[in-house]
Amino acid sequence: MPDFIVAIPEHIRDFMELGGPVLYLIAALLLVMWYMILERIFYFRGPHKDAVKAAIHEWEARSERNSWAAHQVREQLISSVASKAKENLSMIQACVALAPLFGLLGTVTGMIEVFQVMAISGSSNARAMAGGVSRATVPTMAGMVAALSGLFLSFWLLRRAEQERESLSENLTLDH
């Protein structure tokens, strides 16, 4: 196995130590967010298609499709499938919004460390302050990267859910 692959766990450990304990919060948030993103992607590839087929089959099995009750059944079918498609999307968006805030928390805790060093040793000891500065900047960067990694896919998933709703609405025709 190549040396750079073997060294990955060491680099991750070093990065986590450099950024401080807030990076563990960001990493946990990132894992949860990506778990939900992947779950939604796999949902659209499999179970969603089955839900759409079931809704279309139930609608096509109706003998009458023009009454007020039929319209309500149609809306219920569309709404049911759409709500399943939008499941966890608000949680994904919340994770995207929380990641930079966790990064900001890391900035604040890192700056507190810098101020403690300044209070103890004075402002002339740049080497002593460097650890706090890295603990202030690395979590900020990590929080922004975590948010950006999920931002595009959260919007894509939301758009996909809306497109699926519109597609189902078009497939459930009112005429018989």
Count of CB atoms situated within 10 Å of the CB of 166: 12
Residues 99/32, Cβ–Cβ less than 8 Å: no
Q: Is residue 155 part of a domain?
A: yes
Residue 5 lies in a domain: no
What tokens appear for 108 in the block? 């604040």
User: What are the tens digits of pLDDT across the range 42-98?
Assistant: 999 999 999 999 999 999 988 888 889 989 999 999 999 999 999 999 999 999 999
Query: Could you list the residue range(s) of the whole structural domain that residue 99 is in?
Result: 24-171
Each residue's pLDDT tens digit, 106-147: 888 888 887 877 777 776 667 767 777 777 888 999 999 999
pLDDT tens per residue across span 160-175: 999 999 999 998 887 6
Domain count for the chain? 1
Q: Is the pLDDT of residue 19 over 90?
A: no
167 lies in some domain: yes
The length of the chain in residues reads: 176
pTM to 2 decimal places: 0.83
